[in-house]
Chain A
Amino acid sequence: MSSPDTSVPDPAVELARIVEELRGARTVLLDRPATEIATLLGSVGERFLDPGDPLRIEALERIPGEAGLSKAMAARVVDGMARDWTIDRLRTLLVSEFGDPRLLDRFVAAPVTEGAQRRGKAPDKAPRTAATGGDRHLRAIGDGVALHIGAGSVPGVCATSVIRSLLVKTPVLVKPGAGDRALTELFVAGLTEAATPLAAAVAVRYWEGGESPVEEALLSSVDRVVVYGSDRTARSVRDRTPPHTPVVLYHHRISIALIGEEAIGVAPPGAAAADGILESTAADLAYAASTFDQRGCVSPHRAWVLGAPEGALRLAEATARAMAREEAAVPAGLRSEGEQARVQQLRGHAEMEEAAGRGVRLWKGDGTAWTVVYDPTGVIEVGAPRTLVIAAAEGIEAVVATLRREGPHLQSVGMAGLGAEEARAVEALTRIGATRFAALADLPFPPAWWHHDGEGPLRALVSWAEWTL
């Protein structure tokens, strides 16, 4: 399997030509029902789940070198990502986002009229007048061409982004992050190999990023921009994009875990604790923190255990054991000097806190492979790879108070054993910015239809036209 030609002889001219070609390919998408596009995309996506398929084999060969992940982690990531690239999942995504996927194909009568809603009547009983909106028709429409800019080293992000764009019938020029080239290129190669016309509506290219004339011209020539990256990158792209061009920003995020005492073997009054629940919770937490080597926005860095400090300490001890097992089964990949330096600073700080008798406890693997800190002080900074900081919190209010400042960056909350507190915790964290709550083991791979950073993944890529007859 060969990768597509990604050389760019004269970036500005070449990219301008590609944008125009992509714009011309829009009819390929507009002429097909969205469900058919989902089928075509899914037929390629499913190949990444087939152990003998050349696309998957090449992906697993390339990802460790490109993304700095171990082979075992590369396989986990491909499995997790491609799970959502199947025909079934993509069709479910369309339904989840639009109810009726034909909204992407043509105008469709609004399923429930505003007038009917106001009076609590069923749609078919509502008077079909202009005043009630009874003849209101809606259409979700993609763009002439979109630019998707990836970042970082989480494989599969840009392939998912391409799929989303094509599902809403928008041709896309994509620049993957340095560690996300393999799956993006191979997915597009799969489209080409399948001889599907969709291949004409996507191009993968690289150019010097930042405030370069090449990128300035691109940002002005496309109809929508999707950018994944640091806050600084997101701000830079937003500031350089014309005001009439929508920009979808997926800036950096941070995720956490919130654990109730039931999940660490403390049974509610009158009930018996489940066998092995502590180890099971720790295993789930270690899995969530280790996947992507903790580079995903969905990766938890800090975990709170509601209740007495002893519970958090027990979970930290168990999580250290689980992190070691994770490391043995799915080793950490390469870490940058900066990541290693952060681990060393964090460990040194934790050691000093421990030595000072402030109750901090530190567990660590070989080299900088993994680190767990029990931190009753709340002063240990997170952000190092495969590192979990675990603390107790008297109640959800204490967690909210700590996280309030992270609001704009807060994303996923992994939960376990919260029992009757769960709904209250979810509401409180939603109010400060969290947008996703899931079981610990589900954190790394949200379903295709998750509200990515609070927005529908496809609805963020369309405009709505309404037609009142």
Chain B
Amino acid sequence: MTPEPDVDVARMQGDLVRIFRAPGRAIDDEEFDLLARRSFAHQFGANEVYRRFCESRGKKPGTVGEWQEIPCVPATAFKHFDLYSGGGEPAAVFETSGTSRGRSARGRHPIMSMALYREAATAWFGAHLVPDAVRLPVICLVPDPDSLPSSSLSAMMGFAIDAFGAEGSGFFAHPETGVDSPALRAALEAAVTEGMPVLVMGTAFAWVHWIEQCRAWNVSFRLPEGSRLMETGGFKGLSREVPRAELYAELEETLGIPQPRMVNEYGMTELLSQLYEPVLTEPVVDLSARTHRAPPWLRVRALDPETLEPVPDGKRGLLAFFDLANLGSVSAILTEDVGVVGESGLRLLGRASGAEARGCSLAMEELLEEAR
């Protein structure tokens, strides 16, 4: 029997902060396994729903041989259960994007410690968006965290401004009215005038909107050399979205930022760590050849969608994550996203889609999509 792991949560948070602050340090399998089992032991003890789920699968701390055996909750579980594993009240509750079915249909991720989230998010963000360790205006096409406290993305961008932002940083969107195009235009014009490189960040939807606005104004920008862009949510193959190659080409034309300086972020409300394309430090010309890199404290596996057994490296599968930053909720999560895990990182293939294979039966996914 494996010894009961240490479940002193305060000490674990301290250990994690030290790990987060050294994003360049690799964590070997043995160390990760120990950390993961400690995390599991804490969550098993602190979260009754998760404990019962694990027990129903015959898994509990001390009997789990290695971290891969720790039961994954389905991502949809965040819609139906309180998966909080912290003490007292959560510091925040992040919500997934909504549907017309109301708040009950949203996933809710309770956050034990915003400080821990800040550490996890900032370090890996910096390594991939600001590897040159400069301060620069960080221009965000999302609402600010105060006006949208339920958004993990707004919070993350707020951390980025705090850590890397120079004068001119800010949020250029509102929860109700969307992107504040005139203000954004003014900010970009100022950057061009002052010759100040900027970091611009937004969702693929926001960028599509911005491109259309620039077309309507018949304006484009030549942002100073050294500028870079982060785009998120654009990898999913929804038909409403512009294909990625097209989006990046149009962004380059509109903003004057070369495509090699555009970075895709993969994140989800249910995970407090993010994955990035390391293109600012390891340039890749071909968009389709890009991969995402996970921080050392997050492990990703590709699972056979039929059996949930791991597939060999290089084979596509459903993605399952173990995120140590999720200490205050549940670390092991099974998603509906598909990818290929390999030596060079994670190649994201998008949301597993069944709509194209279905007949005239309504796919619930589509119903939800229609309702958005």
Contacts and interface: CB of A to CB of B under 8 A. Distances in A.
Interface string A453-468: 0000000000000000
Most chain A beta-carbon neighbours within 10 Å: one of B75, B306, B334, B358: B358
A153 B13 CA distance: 51
B74 A348 contact: yes
Interface string B337-372: 010000000000001111111111111111101100
Interface in A344-368: 344-349, 351-357, 367-368
A368 B306 contact: yes
B326 to A, nearest CB: 16
B364 A382 contact: yes
Interface in A132-181: 151-154, 157, 177-179
A302 to B, nearest CB: 11
Interface of B: 49, 52-53, 55-57, 72-77, 80-81, 101, 239, 305-308, 316, 318, 334, 336, 338, 351-367, 369-370
A154 B360 contact: yes
Interface stretch (A49-57, A248-256, A420-428): A248-256
A183 interface: no
B364 A344 contact: no
B305 A296 contact: no
Contacts of A229: 360
Query: What class of interface size applies to chain A in its complex with B?
Result: 35 or more
A379 interface: yes
A379 B80 contact: yes
Give the 5 A-B CB pairs with smallest separation, nearest first: A338-B354, A383-B364, A348-B74, A295-B359, A154-B359
A340 B305 contact: yes
B362 A357 contact: no
A187 interface: no
A332 B180 CA distance: 51
B305 A368 contact: yes
Nearest to A369: B306
Given A151-B360, A383-B363, A344 B334 contact: yes
Contact of A355 (B53, B352, B363): B53
A383 B76 contact: no
Nearest to B370: A231
Given A342-B364, A352-B74, 15 more contacts: A229-B360, A230-B366, A252-B362, A252-B363, A295-B361, A336-B356, A336-B358, A338-B352, A341-B336, A341-B338, A342-B365, A348-B76, A352-B73, A352-B81, A382-B364
A351 B362 contact: no
Contacts of B76: 345-346, 348-349, 381
Most chain B beta-carbon neighbours within 10 Å: one of A68, A341, A342, A409: A341
Contacts of B49: 352, 355-356
9 contacts: A153-B359, A252-B361, A254-B362, A336-B356, A338-B351, A339-B354, A352-B53, A352-B73, A354-B56
Interface in A425-450: none
B336 A253 contact: no
Given A294-B361, A345-B75, A356 B352 contact: no
Nearest to B336: A341
Nearest to A348: B74
Contacts of A294: 361
A409 B367 contact: yes
Nearest to A336: B357
Given A230-B355, A337-B305, A342-B365, A152 B360 contact: yes
Contacts of A335: 306, 354, 357
A338 B306 contact: no
A383 to B, nearest CB: 3
B253 to A, nearest CB: 22
A409 B362 CA distance: 8
